[in-house]
Amino acid sequence: MGQGVARIFPVLSELPVLPLLPALPLLPALPALPSKNNKMKTGIFVGSFDPFTTGHDAIVRRALPLFDRIVIGVGVNERKKYMYSAEVRLRRIEALYAAEPRVEAKAYSDLTIDFARREGAQFIIKGVRSIKDFEYEREQADINRKIGGIDTVLLYADPQLESVSSSMVRELIHFGKDASEFLPALP
């Protein structure tokens, strides 16, 4: 090494010794989250699910390791027009998860926070495909936390499922195209 390099990178023995930082105190344990029976972690995964897509299914399956129980809430809004009735949407989801006892499906027509309260849920599970989804879900999460005291867990969509949406599937079906690759296969 030339002398110029030695001036820029001094030998380690020539570096000043820095004093050690004091140890940080341990953080207190987090309090247990409230639930119906104080034992089960319950999350609700809500939406219109008109129809329930492979993207929705992927979010539920990725959320399963995080929760003891997931309730899929099929939203019913009388001001909205649906392709499939709530009954059809609900029965298809129930059939899909018939072999998974930790997943239930229920219809609801009130506020999500009220549905969460009835189900003893501590968390709302949402899937996010894009920045646009993130911004919308962040605003919803803020409101749900403020008025309902419930937190939202965001799971990002698998890259290969980012373009899958219920509205896209409805459009394909409306024009007579095969949308089966975007719908989970029933057992």
Catalytic residue status for 80 = yes
Angle of helix 131-148 relative to helix 112-119, nearest 10 degrees?
60
At residue 117's C-alpha, the angle toward residues 102 and 82, to 5°, is: 75
Q: Say which of 48, 69, 92, 166 is annotated catalytic.
A: 166
Catalytic residue status for 7 = no
**DSSP string covering 150-170:** -EEEEEEPPGGGTT--HHHHH
Q: Say which of 7, 80, 81, 146 is annotated catalytic.
A: 80
Reported in sequence order, the residue ranges of the chain that DSSP labels E, i.e. its strands, are 42-47, 69-75, 103-108, 123-128, 151-156
Catalytic residue status for 35 = no
Q: Say which of 48, 56, 69, 89 is annotated catalytic.
A: 56
Residue showing tokens 């030695």: 6
Q: Say which of 129, 138, 145, 170 is annotated catalytic.
A: 129
C-beta atoms surrounding 39 within 10 Å: 8
Catalytic residue status for 109 = no
Q: So which residues are the catalytic ones? A: 56, 80, 129, 166
